[in-house]
Structure 1
Amino acid sequence: MEDKTALSQGSVFRSLLAIVQWWGFNVTVIIMNKWIFQKLDFKFPLSVSCVHFICSSIGAYIAIKVLKVKPLIVVEPEDRWKRIFPMSFVFCINIVLGNVSLRYIPVSFMQTIKSFTPATTVVLQWLVWRKYFDWRIWASLVPIVGGILLTSVTELSFNAFGFSAALLGCLATSTKTILAESLLHGYKFDSINTVYYMAPFATMILGVPALLLEGNGILEWFQTHETIYSSLFIILLSGVLAFCLNFSIFYVIHSTTAVTFNVAGNLKVAVAVLISWLIFRNPISAMNAVGCAITLGGCTFYGYVRHLLSQQPASTGTPRTPRTPRSRMELLPLVNDKLDDKV
């Protein structure tokens, strides 16, 4: 009995440790990126994203090839271009849009908009694939959409370009998830192998646009900025921590349940909002805070509904109609909540 109790306590401790280190890396990367754009005046989101991809490529190579943390999942060369490259392209767009939005809007607003991803995923699958969803899935989206609308209307630091970038980032995240279901069919990727294959492609995709669009601005920044070396260290450190975030997701996946992860993810958004406000002091109205709380509550309810539906046994012997799902899994959106948070 004591052994079981000790084992249970050890499991809880590992789960808490996994969540705390995931929170730490995630919030730190977000705050550092905002600091780079706002305090260091390094207003080049494409280049920052490129640094992240380069660091992630190197980190994934070391983790798999040198430290052998995870075995390499072998992908055929043809599949790398037909399957991995399209995923990498959307992955790249997703990260860039997130960094672009951080340049123009506060962390609190950006994180709230990012919570809109479940709604965009469900709507995309419904429109494109005509996928059936249980009414409770649709009901869970109401507070998410309502909270986003209230937050947007009452946001004191509203910027149309930053808002659009964050919203498009939600669409890119949803598209990435949906593509993963079809393009990566047959490959059971973990987070490290995903980065190992996608980050080099993303670096290649982003390198030329970053050079052409931001090269001159970066050269001017080098000439006029006073603390070059310390600033470069912070930019590089943000890239290293971005890879560590991916690694932390791999750890938290194996240490928590889906429900725990969902709740922890929404609490992480609240922590990011609070810490960003303490550092940057961006104005937040009372109604704006209420909108954010409604959105996070809606996300938690959405995660609970997904879990509830996934636990229900499939019904048998029921006559099918064109609107009847073929299986219980058709009631669930193709959203891998545990892997949508990569930076």
Structure 2
Amino acid sequence: MSSRSSTTLDEKELAIVTKPESEGTQSSLPTPVSAVQPKPKAKASAATIIPIWIALSSAVIIYNNYIYNTLQFKYPVFLVTWHLTFAAIGTRVLQRTTNLLDGVKDVHMSKEMFLKSILPIGLLFSGSLILSNTAYLYLSVSYIQMLKAFTPVAILLIQWTFRLQEPNKKLAVIVFMISSGVALASQGELRFNLIGFLTQAAAVAFEASRLVMIQVLLHNLKMDPLVSLHYYAPVCAAINLLILPFTEGLAPFYALPKIGAAIMFSNASVAFLLNVAAVFLVGAGSGLVLTLAGVFKDILLITGSVLLFGSSITPLQVFGYSLALIGLVFFKTSGGK
């Protein structure tokens, strides 16, 4: 979790990836817990589910930031592990009580598939979640959202490097536009922190590598966000539990009484509900509509960060991020080709 600040990790990628089959499969950007996404059985109208998804997506990021920086619970590895454990239990409860995870029956999980696909992707997912959550200890919500705009560029660069897609002039222009926008946003950041920047940059690299690996290894599997989470959550939780003693130790357990069970439970619940909303979202609208919804959500998040946490944004950042967002829309309308 998520996310990009919890186990949902990054909502912008969800908006970019969801496109009709006719647009091709190159440069697809699944959600942080998704491979190829078929339309779910249960459906909701775009007018209903998109506002819910925006609200939940924003709530996860703001809630996590509140826990880290306002409540001073600075233990991202523990929080991510808790989110993943909650999600592992939650998906299994839903599997037994609803039809939202009927897709599990269509996935024939062999030992070989687990070791060669699920485990390495889970390692990248775990690294992405831990690093992206750690970045909130050093950077503002608004600046992190701006840096995440570089994810599609990172994916394209990996694809070009490994010859999974051939470079072309149109994509090169889009890469330059997004990169320039993110660079300007970084230049305008008043409270720039090098450790936070490198941490978020590493999170983007892990996430981009994970999404490319999903394309390569799981391109024939049809797993919606909840089915994917059903498999990845326990794997990532186990990985994080192995890391926890060497990173944060027992300190988060001693700090738990100060946070309280209500906050921990509600925080994980909001993150899990975002994954449930994603199931309905993928069948609710076109890829471009979801891209624009993601852009609108980021604008709300940046505005909320300024109002709630006192983050400062400069005119140069506004211009740079606007340039990056325009590049993202061009990327979507080009079909990633």
**Which of the five TM-score ranges fits, normalised by the shorter chain?**
0.7 to 0.9
Alignment partner, residue 341 of structure 1: none
User: What is the SS of the residue equivalent to 2:335?
Assistant: helix
1:4 matched to which residue of 2? none
Conserved 8 A contact 1:64-1:70: yes
Partners of 2:253 and 2:153 in 1: how far apart?
41
1:100 aligns with 2:134: yes
Residue 63 of structure 2 corresponds to 32
Kindly indicate whether the alpha-carbon contact (under 8 Å) linking 1:137 and 1:302 is maintained by their aligned counterparts in 2: yes
Aligned to 1:206: 240
Partner residue of 1:135 out of 152, 169, 176 = 169
Q: Which residue among 185, 192, 195 is the counterpart of 1:161?
A: 195
How far 1:145 moved relative to its partner?
0.5
Shift of the alpha carbon at 1:142?
Answer: 1.9
For 1:142-157, what aligned pairs fall within 5 Å after superposition? 142-157=176-191
Amino acid at match of 1:141: V
Letter in 2 for 1:44: Y
Whether the 8 Å contact between 1:36 and 1:235 is mirrored in structure 2 is no
Alignment partner, residue 335 of structure 1: none
| Residue 133 of structure 1: how far off its partner (Å) | 3.3
Counterpart in 2 of 1:49? 80
Query: What's the CA shift string for 1:107-135, capped at 9, x where partnerless?
Result: 00001101101111111111122621332
- Map 1:279-318 onto structure 2 (within 5 A): 279-306=308-335
Secondary structure in structure 1 of the residue aligned to 2:324:
helix
Provide the C-alpha distance between the structure 2 equivalents of 1:87 and 1:54, rounded to a whole number of angstroms: 17
Contact preservation (8 Å) 1:114, 1:169: no
- Matching residue's letter, 1:66: T
Deviation at 1:99, TM superposition (A): 0.3
Tell me the distance in 2 between the aligned counterparts of 1:291 and 1:146: 7
Distance 1:193 1:82, change over 3 A: same
**1:218 correspondence with 2:252:** yes
* Aligned partners of 2:125 and 2:207 also within 8 Å: yes
Q: Distance in 2 between matches of 1:96 and 1:236?
A: 19
Q: Compare relative contact order (CA 8 Å, sep 6+) and give the higher one, 1 or 2.
A: 2
Runs of 4+ in 1 over 4 A off after TM superposition: none
Q: Is 1:115 paired with 2:149?
A: yes
How many pairs are equivalent?
292
1:284 is paired with a residue of what secondary structure?
A: coil
| C-alpha contact 2:184 2:316 (8 A) present in aligned 1 | yes
TM-score (norm 2): 0.82
What letter corresponds to residue 49 of structure 2 in structure 1? Answer: A
Deviation track 1:210-254 (CA, whole Å, cap 9, x = no partner) reads 2332124225535xx7x442xx42233222211111121111101
Q: Give the TM-score of the pair, scaled to structure 1.
A: 0.81
Does structure 1 residue 172 correspond to structure 2 residue 206?
Answer: yes
| Residue 282 of structure 2: aligned partner | 253
C-alpha change, 1:228 and 1:109, in structure 2 (3 Å) is closer
Alignment-mate amino acid for residue 181 of structure 2? G
Check the 8 A contact 1:37/1:44 in 2, yes or no: yes
In terms of Rg, which structure is larger? 1
- Conserved? CA contact 1:157–1:282, under 8 Å: no
Shift of 1:189: 1.1
Residue identity opposite 2:272 in structure 1:
F
CA separation of 1:65 and 1:82: change in aligned 2, threshold 3 A: farther
Contact 1:108 1:272 in 2 (8 A): yes
- The answer as to whether partners of 2:71 and 2:259 remain within 8 angstroms in 1 is no
Given the superposition, is the C-alpha separation of residues 102 and 303 from structure 1 closer, same or farther in structure 2, using an over 3 Å criterion? same
Alignment map for 1:54-73 (pairs within 5 Å): 54-71=85-102, 72=104, 73=107
What residue is the counterpart of 1:316 in the other structure?
none
